[in-house]
Structure 1
Amino acid sequence: MSLNPGIASSFNETKTRSHTLSPQSGMCSFCTADCPGTCEIGLSAVLGAQSVYPTTTGNNQIASEKDYPLDYSHFNINGRVFGAQGVPAGTDQAAIFNVRLERTLGRRHPVKIALPVILPALLKMNWQDYFAGAAMAGVCCVIGEGSPSKDPALQMRNGKIAEFPYLNEIMDAFRRYYRGYGQIVPQANFEEDGQGLPEYAVSRCGAEAIEFKFGQSAKGTQPVTRLKDYDAALKKKATGALVHPDPEDPAVRAAAERGEAPNFYAYGRLPMWDEEYLVTRIGMLRDMGLKNVYFKMAGFDPVDIERVLRIAASAEVDVVTFDGAGGGSGYSPCKMMNEWGLPTVPLENTVCGIARRLRREGLELPSMVITGGFATEDQVFKALALGAPGFQAVGLCRAAMAAANSAKKVGELIEAGNIPAYLQKYGDSKETLFADLPDLRHLYGKEAENFPAGAIGVFSYLNRIAMGLRHFAALNRKFDVSLLGPDDLIPLTPEAAKLLAGR
């Protein structure tokens, strides 16, 4: 059976005409000359190179459409009926609400999280509530790459960031609600590191942590943006960006003067870090006051995964997040989201094998987080169990943003007096509809009633994850999530059974 999702996609609102597709190509098995070109090939015939990227990006989220042959649905969750681990084996102590979810990430300056979850890097859509909700729930969150480009007040001097006031505004979305758990972490890709974003974040914004980005599940390369015209290409190159073709090339300039200029593209530089640079760089930032260092790594070649873990051990990095294939937020090439990298289950298993070998060598490894396609508590439980003891947390990215967006919309509808019919049976006001608002009021006082609806939504969604995890852990008589392991999983397919047998 083909795993190919075909050449029609919500990425660009394309569709195939025929009900029957050719399994290998994904094209209609019957392709007629009369078709106006509704599929990806037809769109490509019009948009050309632009159709490599989604046309439905912007204020939307986009992720892989490929059905990978092994995922967490290929496991069920085990259950036990005798005894208790983590608490005394008594009926009062061995209770769901005594399941300990709190974890600690990091080495030099450990960071407590209230549940084994982080919100990975984003800076689009309703990021304000995404970060605020993370603080309320007591988990870490990461500011996505490209943040300087979103600040109209950004000032650069000699290729370095001189003024970036927007960063403080972004960080305040979390800091305003910080309650002793979690951390907000600005992310720096290769170019932003060269522009001095880490130094600026630490010295001017009080950032305590930085995440260095090697890659993510949907985007192993940096994005390519088509520029409007020759003048735009010149301006973009003047900022230090890579532009193709070079607008200052005499032949290209002459072509532009004749009205024959080609398309121009700006594109991001690929990371070219190595051990020596990163160890030195991290040491310098720590001398400035940086407390915690994070790495973001995708499902690259296992040799690269091992090298990143060795660098992390050498530099005493606190957290490495591994992002499995299938993710994406809209700025990744369409086929890269579907077709590259290790999917989340194989990635987690590969990392666990490498980590066991490195520990036998005596290396002290960082805390590890797995992300890539998680939305519900059963998936989180399975990932924690499969990845134990190396993985301490699971990243919930698109799902947490969906909660932020949905709750914000509900809040707007409440204010407009237009509560959706499906919600009316639960209440008729913010106070009665948002069921976990009493928990926020208990944490923050009565001012919680004025918290943004979107942030309350993220808190409530993560509260659901926490409650579900407690149920599954108690089902296995394990009253601390640090006790979870592969023995808490039941394989449902031969591939899943083979994977567990290797653990």
Structure 2
Amino acid sequence: MNLQRPNANDATRTANRSRDVVPMSGLCSRCVDGCTGNCEVFKATFRSRELIYPGPFGEITAGGDKDYPLDYSHLNIQGYAMGAKGLPEGVSASPDTATFPAVDTETEYGWEKKVKMRVPVFTGALGSTEIARKNWEHFAVGAALSGVTLVCGENVCGIDPLLERDSGGKVVSAPDMDRRIEIYRRYHEGYGEILVQMNVEDTRLGAGEYVHKKHGLETIELKWGQGAKCIGGEIKVASLERALQLQERGYLVTPDPSDPMNQAAFKSGALKEFERHSRLGFVSEEGFFNEVKRLRDVGFKRITLKTGAYGLRELAMAIKWGSKAHIDLLTIDGAPGGTGMSPWRMMEEWGMPSLYLHSAAYDFCKHLADKGERVPDIAFAGGFSSEDGVFKALAMGAPFVKAVCMGRALMIPGMVGKNIAKWIEDGKLPKTVSQFGSTPEEIFVCWEEVKKMVGADEMKNIPLGAIGFYSYAQKLKVGLQQLMAGSRNFRVSTVSRKDLMSLTEECTKVTGIPYVMDAYKEEALAVLNS
């Protein structure tokens, strides 16, 4: 069975001419001399390296679509006809008390100084990609209103056109980072937080020191990797001057903008953009501990770590070293991942898929816990978009997993809300939206909720993308409440691996979750034999 066919995908804006395609190569079964395209080989013939990336940059997000042998759809959620775990102290379980709106979806993470969230989800790293920059107001206000953590990704200081550095190359002014932090804090009410991610270039720039000194930020995130790729972050740059500026700041920029050959190609119009890349990190146990200590000495109260779809060795390192360093949250991001810009074939073909990676993570966490070692709070990431996925992730990793990191799924409502505002302004609401009304008050179910939170006078300052984000977060919350109530869990902390069943024996082998025909079999026989 073919799991992923190369050479044509909407992400790269390509398609096969033939209806019949060779599964492994993705080439048409009959390749015609004179074909006008538009498979990837055809297009790469003249656009070359441009075909490595999804596009157009700044206008899309992309997610890998390889159909792995196992994923979270191979798990189903248990439901029970009796019981209620996690009701408030003193409340006895009954049909009048154990209602789904009574389910508490709050969660918290942190080694000592905890951060509470109203819903057990938070954003993926929204960093230097154009899609994150231009939609930041919608994402940030939405996350603050929803009471969830917002992750400001890598390279935000480094690519700021208005960045100012001292004689040692350290940040002294980064207006875009200032803007991002201030927007989130404007509507933050004690739930969730904004944390900033650091990579090699951010560390060299002193981005961590800057955000702590200027903004008093309490949490910083070290980045080892992500699910979408096993190299550093990337953006595209549409001007020669900007490419040279980023190269001067120490970034790897390709093709080399200082090369006269590439400058000539750009000026002729053949070369339309440059790529800014981050460097590969090199982790070691001593280096990791030293960096955690350094950041604590800077003044950060919490240190988190994001790691990607690496193999078992790196996974074990992240969990074990995170435990020894008392990190506050470890986010484990599985393949294929989502992105604003990552190499497309890398997204499709590298790394441990989420279910396999998360199963191993649970095993490793349990291994440490069984030895009496405390495990850092864990978040799972990699392909989640709905409340059932959140429930499954919490249950799969229980009791270690506290939340789910959602990348593209939490970005979409921000973009949709923003576009609704534009369509209203232009008088061009599509029927998919206009069927519900013609004004924001009519279109957004949660409009009045947000108005109650911020006040009627403040609503004019709330971007519609933020209301979209909040609306989607509420959908996740209510859907999760229903699933939790059905499995008789009235707090996130009571969700357990017993609340899942595997639909295939292969899934049981990988996850350790009982096969559907074996789950609760002993309890069933006890009833029959009573």
TM-score normalised according to structure 2 size: 0.87
- Could you tell me which residue of structure 2 aligns to residue 488 of structure 1? 499
Q: Distance between the aligned counterparts of 2:244 and 2:136, measured in 1? A: 32
After superposition, what is the alpha-carbon deviation per residue over 1:257-289, rounded to whole angstroms, capped at 9, x for unaligned?
A: 999xxx997542111232223322222322332
- Could you tell me which residue of structure 1 aligns to residue 520 of structure 2? none
1:35 partner amino acid: C
Alignment of 1:114 with 2:123, yes or no, is no
Compute the displacement of 1:162 (Å): 2.1
Compute the displacement of 1:470 (Å): 0.5
After superposition, what is the alpha-carbon deviation per residue over 1:348-393, rounded to whole angstroms, capped at 9, x for unaligned?
A: 1111111111222332222111111111111111111112111110
- Could you tell me which residue of structure 1 aligns to residue 448 of structure 2? 438
Compute the displacement of 1:163 (Å): 1.5
Which of 372, 375, 383 is the aligned partner of 1:373? Answer: 383
Q: Distance between the aligned counterparts of 1:390 and 1:66, measured in 2? A: 28
2:135 partner amino acid: N
Q: Secondary structure at the match of 2:338?
A: coil
The 1:420/1:31 distance shift into structure 2, 3 A limit, reads: closer
Q: Distance between the aligned counterparts of 1:436 and 1:502, measured in 2? A: 37
The answer (yes or no) to whether the contact 2:159–2:246 under 8 Å persists in 1 is no
Alignment of 1:469 with 2:480, yes or no, is yes
Compute the displacement of 1:315 (Å): 1.8
The answer (yes or no) to whether the contact 2:240–2:263 under 8 Å persists in 1 is no
The 1:277/1:498 distance shift into structure 2, 3 A limit, reads: closer
Q: Distance between the aligned counterparts of 2:339 and 2:451, measured in 1? A: 33
After superposition, what is the alpha-carbon deviation per residue over 1:305-358, rounded to whole angstroms, capped at 9, x for unaligned?
A: 111122212221101111111222231001111111111111111111111112
- Could you tell me which residue of structure 2 aligns to residue 183 of structure 1? 193
Alignment of 1:276 with 2:280, yes or no, is no
Q: Secondary structure at the match of 2:157?
A: helix
Q: Distance between the aligned counterparts of 2:148 and 2:324, measured in 1? A: 26
Q: Distance between the aligned counterparts of 1:423 and 1:94, measured in 2? A: 36
- Could you tell me which residue of structure 1 aligns to residue 24 of structure 2? 24
Alignment of 1:421 with 2:431, yes or no, is yes
TM-score normalised according to structure 1 size: 0.91
The answer (yes or no) to whether the contact 2:158–2:205 under 8 Å persists in 1 is no
Alignment of 1:143 with 2:161, yes or no, is no
Q: Distance between the aligned counterparts of 2:275 and 2:466, measured in 1? A: 37
Compute the displacement of 1:79 (Å): 0.8
What does residue range 101-250 of structure 1 map to in structure 2 within 5 Å? 101-123=105-127, 124=132, 125-157=134-166, 158-223=168-233, 236-242=246-252
Compute the displacement of 1:299 (Å): 1.1
After superposition, what is the alpha-carbon deviation per residue over 1:102-154, rounded to whole angstroms, capped at 9, x for unaligned?
A: 11110131101111111111142412111111111101010121212442210
- Could you tell me which residue of structure 1 aligns to residue 62 of structure 2? 62
Q: Distance between the aligned counterparts of 1:192 and 1:462, measured in 2? A: 31
Q: Secondary structure at the match of 2:339?
A: coil
Q: Distance between the aligned counterparts of 1:308 and 1:277, measured in 2? A: 13
Q: What stretches of structure 2 of length at least 5 have no aligned partner? A: 266-270, 515-530
The 1:46/1:436 distance shift into structure 2, 3 A limit, reads: same
The answer (yes or no) to whether the contact 1:282–1:315 under 8 Å persists in 2 is yes
1:438 partner amino acid: E
Q: Distance between the aligned counterparts of 1:136 and 1:15, measured in 2? A: 41
Q: Distance between the aligned counterparts of 1:155 and 1:418, measured in 2? A: 42
Q: What stretches of structure 1 of length at least 5 have no aligned partner? A: none
The 1:228/1:401 distance shift into structure 2, 3 A limit, reads: closer
The answer (yes or no) to whether the contact 1:382–1:489 under 8 Å persists in 2 is yes
Q: Distance between the aligned counterparts of 1:464 and 1:220, measured in 2? A: 33
Compute the displacement of 1:416 (Å): 4.5
The answer (yes or no) to whether the contact 1:43–1:51 under 8 Å persists in 2 is yes
What does residue range 285-324 of structure 1 map to in structure 2 within 5 Å? 285-324=295-334
2:485 partner amino acid: A
Q: Secondary structure at the match of 1:426?
A: coil
The answer (yes or no) to whether the contact 1:133–1:455 under 8 Å persists in 2 is yes
- Could you tell me which residue of structure 2 aligns to residue 454 of structure 1? 465
Residue-pair matches, total: 498
Q: Distance between the aligned counterparts of 2:415 and 2:262, measured in 1? A: 44
1:108 partner amino acid: E
